[in-house]
Structure 1
Amino acid sequence: MRTVGVEEELLLVDPKSGGPRSVATRILKNAGGVVAGSDPGRLSGSLEHEFQQQMLETNSAPHADLTELADDIRHCRNRAITAAREAGVRVIASGTSPLPVEPRQFPDPRYLLIAQTFGITASEQLTCACHVHVAVESDDEGVAVLDRIRCWLPVLTALSANSPYWQGLDTRYASFRSQAMLRWPTAGPADVFGSAANYHATVDAMLSSGVMMDKGMVYFDARLSHHVPTVEIRVADVCADAADTVLIAALVRGLVETAASSWQAGGAAPPIPASMLRLATWQAGRYGVGGTLLDPLTLQPRPAADVVADLITHVRPALAESGDEALVEFQAGEVLGRGNGADRQRAVFRRTGHLVDVVADLARVTSGQDAL
């Protein structure tokens, strides 16, 4: 069974004002620094810095069993929460800060060069994603997977959407993080590559253009990892509830296994142009699961619940084989029934009228004290 690992980007906020605080350096010191495994070629439960000082990144170990993955995700969150508490701040899982913020970059030479090169795109970049890694046997298999899952990725954005606010304002989007990411020249959906050779040739051309600094700046919706033998799916907002994170991980693994099986059987990748996938991504980021999504194959608008059901049907054989079918059916039903993280944030604001209450609620859900 393929292993799956999760990276979560988390915001550090003041417990009283709810505004983000630039204390990542102090938190990592409290936690004993960056904790990495003995093998740098594998993900292995860790707590690390990110682009801005108001953020931390957690990395789970790779797991075949999703119950173990869920425990690992919660352990990573609890470790971040404990270290943050010693620095006088709280941790929230939200794709953007509900309250206004002035991002402060982590003092890393690479980050400083990115900031100098990309200007306001970098200086305003304070978004938190959930990246899912699934093991693949080779670059050939990995690129075959990327070509075959791309049309389904907007559905994951809709399910995970958890960033309705930006600089204290309601953006009218369920996932404004997905919009903010498109400011980067290397971000968004890619066209069908057809082969690992074409994928690598594309990345090499991007590097030689001088626009992209290094392979770490390949911000495609899904890419080959440049440091572990996985495909990395990057379209999800960080989810407030860890149970939703596990849902996204299960669906991603199902998509990868389904795509790999199709490739091995000689099935073709859906020939959908990236320009249309950008529309599907916009629709998912705008409305989440509360309206219509674009059908992954026809690109016609359909009720979000029907499109989610089609995704589950598409990956059902893989879910049954891995034992994840019941988990996905239940948790997807939960999201469709009560809404995603963006719906919860807005509901709290409607009830209280204060964004600081939205932040406090996110902190409770992130820590597992409350469920969505």
Structure 2
Amino acid sequence: MRTVGVEEELLLVDPGTGAPCARAVEVLDRLTKCAAGEGGVPAGVFARELQGHQLEFGTRPQHDMDELGVEIVRWRRVAARHARQAGVALAALATSPLPARPAVNVSHRYQWMEEQFGLTTQEQLTCGCHVHVSVASDEEGVAVVDRIQPWLPVLTALSANSPYWQGTDTLYSSYRSRVWGRWPMSGPTGSFGSAERYHAQVDAMVTSGVIRDRGMIYFDARLSHRYPTVEIRVADVCLEATTTLLVACLSRALVETAARDWRSGNEPLVHGVSLLRLAAWRAARSGLDGDLLHPLTMRPATPQVVAAALLDHVREALDDSGDLAWARKTTAELQARGNGARIQRALFAHTGSLSDVVAACVRHTLGERQLRYPAPDWTRPTPSG
């Protein structure tokens, strides 16, 4: 059984207005002082991110999905408690619905990025969910990266949780992924064919001087430069922890399926980077509320058909891990309830206030509110700048 771990980036907001608050240093200071033990925080769980409005945590590698889910919920709640003590609230939002001012954290790395990439760095207030799945070797890892590319946009659609940007409805479900795509080292990749060619490409990117080091390889799926894992980086941070767990479960199944195909001598399905970019764009635009591109044909299909294709593709791996029934049930529930993007829009349609949207999302983040929302009515007014 492969291990799987999750990194979640969370947004710090003003509990009264819902506007982003650059208070990560204060929250992390409180977390650092919290001793390990019952209710404590082991060193290394939490970290700061590029912007001062963000807080990141990482789980341990887990074999069991129930254990992973418990850990995700635990660290969300621990972070929220310490955030409250620092005078802010915690929200699992992939972009801020309300306007935000840049607040790049002070470090040599982040200052270099700000000088190198300018406004792209300053505006990069996005919160993602990264999933690490263990692999036996770099060769297996690259074989996996080559084979999972067409399926990654489905994970974006399921997790989409960023319809608003600077007070405006973007008409996207995952606008985070579009902002993230401004980095020149991000996005889908073509087939590498071997670990040697993968590492040669990464080395060439680093020696170009455009990026600082291997940690700035922002491929949609990459070999982790720190762990023996494939790191899948396409998901928005999910509004609800159950969706995070579903993305992690499907990610592990995708990795296992791809590794089995590689061992069986099956060649990867190669669509080309141009089509993969279109599929990623379509998933960001539609989420679960419009057609996606089918991973096998790259033709339009409903999100229900595409999700079913993904579940069928990884069925054997899910069955072997004991996750098949849960993944099917949770996917169906997500499609009925809606992802974070649908929930945010429904909240705005009900309240007419983005501040109220953020307040409700704070509760969703901690699992304190479970509601069902219909698909959005696009004829209703939407917020504008």
Q: Closer, same or farther in 2 for the Cα pair 1:45/1:242, shift >3 Å?
A: farther
Task: Letter of the 1:48 partner, please give it.
Answer: A
Pairing 1:257-268 to 2, within 5 Å after superposition = 257-268=256-267
Q: 1:219 aligns to what?
A: 218
1:371 aligned residue: 370
CA distance in 2, matches of 1:212, 1:183: 14
State the shift of 1:33 in Å. Answer: 5.8
What CA distance in whole angstroms lies between the structure 1 residues aligned with 2:120 and 2:137?
Answer: 34
Q: 1:167/1:225 Cα in 2 relative to 1: closer, same or farther (>3 Å)?
A: same
Q: What aligned pairs does 1:79-90 form with structure 2 within 5 A after superposition?
A: 79-90=78-89
Structure 1 residue 83, shift from structure 2 partner:
1.0
1:25 aligns to what?
A: 25
Pairs aligned (count)? 366
Q: 1:333-348 to 2 correspondence within 5 Å?
A: 333-348=332-347
Match of 1:176 in 2: 175
Q: CA RMSD in A?
A: 1.4
* Corresponding residue for residue 122 of structure 1: 121
Q: 141-150 vs 43-52, which deviates more?
A: 43-52
Report if the CA contact (8 A) 2:22-2:52 is conserved. Answer: yes
2:32/2:43 contact within 8 Å kept: no
Shift of 1:44: 8.4
Amino acid in structure 2 at the alignment position of 1:6:
V
Tell me the residue number matched to 1:231.
230
Counterpart position of 1:77? 76
Q: Distance in 1 between matches of 2:163 and 2:46?
A: 26
Check the 8 A contact 1:240/1:365 in 2, yes or no.
Answer: yes
CA deviation after TM superposition for structure 1 residue 79, in Å: 1.3
- CA contact 1:143–1:196 (8 Å) conserved in 2: yes
Alpha-carbon spacing, 1:45–1:328, altered in 2? closer, same or farther (3 Å): farther
Q: In 1, distance between residues paired with 2:35 and 2:279?
A: 38
Q: Which runs of 5+ in 2 are unaligned?
A: 37-41, 372-385
The residue type paired with residue 27 of structure 2 is I
Contact 1:34 1:48 in 2 (8 A): no
2:14 alignment partner AA: D
Q: TM-score if structure 2 supplies the norm length?
A: 0.93
Q: Partner of 1:32: helix, strand, or coil?
A: helix
In structure 2, the residue matched to 1:273 is 272
Counterpart for residue 197 of structure 2: 198
TM-score for both structures, normalised by structure 1: 0.96
Write the distance in 2 (CA, Å) between the matches of 1:235 and 1:44.
27
Q: 1:39 maps to what in 2?
A: none
1:336 Cα deviation after fit: 1.0
Q: Deviations over 1:161-210 (max 9, x none)?
A: 00000001000000000100111000100110000001000000101111
CA distance in 2, matches of 1:206, 1:165: 33
Shift of 1:34: 10
The 2-side partners of 1:364 and 1:193 are apart by 43
CA distance in 2, matches of 1:216, 1:141: 20
Distance in 1 (CA, whole Å) between partners of 2:181 and 2:264 is: 34
CA shift at 1:32, angstroms? 1.6
Q: What is residue 148 of structure 1 aligned with on the other side?
A: 147
- Give the letter for the 1:299 counterpart: M
Give the aligned partner of residue 14 of structure 2. Answer: 14
Gap change, CA 1:29 and 1:254, over 3 Å in 2: same
Q: State the match for 1:305 in structure 2.
A: 304
Matching residue's letter, 1:69:
L
Inter-partner Cα distance in structure 2 for 1:229 and 1:168: 40
In structure 2, give the amino acid aligned to 1:226. H
Distance of 1:302 and 1:33 partners within structure 2: 51
What SS does the aligned partner of 2:186 have? Answer: coil
Does the 8 Å CA contact 1:44/1:61 hold for their aligned counterparts?
no
Alignment-mate amino acid for residue 284 of structure 1: A
Deviation digits for residues 195-248 of structure 1 (CA, Å, limit 9, x no counterpart): 000100000010111111111110100000000000000000000100000000
Question: Is 2:3–2:62's contact at 8 Å kept on the other side of the alignment?
Answer: yes
Q: Compared with structure 1, are the counterparts of its residues 202 and 35 closer, same or farther at alpha carbon in structure 2 (3 Å cutoff)?
A: farther
Alpha-carbon offset, residue 103 of structure 1: 2.1
Structure 1 residues 6, 34: closer, same or farther in 2, change over 3 A? farther
Separation (CA, whole Å) in 2 of partners of 1:83 and 1:28? 8
Seen in structure 2, the aligned counterparts of structure 1 residues 170 and 218 have a Cα distance that, compared at 3 Å, is same
Question: Counterparts of 2:20 and 2:227 in 1: how far apart (Å)?
Answer: 31
Ranges in structure 1 where 5+ consecutive residues have no aligned partner = 37-42
Alignment partners' CA distance in 2, 1:229 and 1:214: 18
4+ residue segments displaced more than 6 Å: none
- Taking the aligned partners of 1:189 and 1:212, their CA distance within structure 2 comes to 17
Equivalent residue of 1:197, what SS?
helix
- Which residue pairs with 1:320 in the alignment? 319
Aligned partner of residue 51 in structure 2, secondary structure: coil
**What is the DSSP-based 3-state SS (H/G/I as helix, E as strand, rest coil) of the residue aligned with 2:243?**
helix
Shift of 1:335: 1.3
1:152 maps to a residue whose letter is W
User: Is the counterpart of residue 159 in structure 1 residue 158 in structure 2?
Assistant: yes
Q: Deviations over 1:283-338 (max 9, x none)?
A: 00001011111011210001110010000000010000001111111110011112
How far apart, in 1, do the equivalents of 2:4 and 2:326 lie?
15
C-alpha contact (below 8 Å) 2:65/2:245 kept by paired residues? yes
Shift of 1:130: 0.3
Judging changes above 3 Å, is the alpha-carbon distance between structure 1 residues 284 and 33 closer, same or farther for their aligned structure 2 residues?
farther
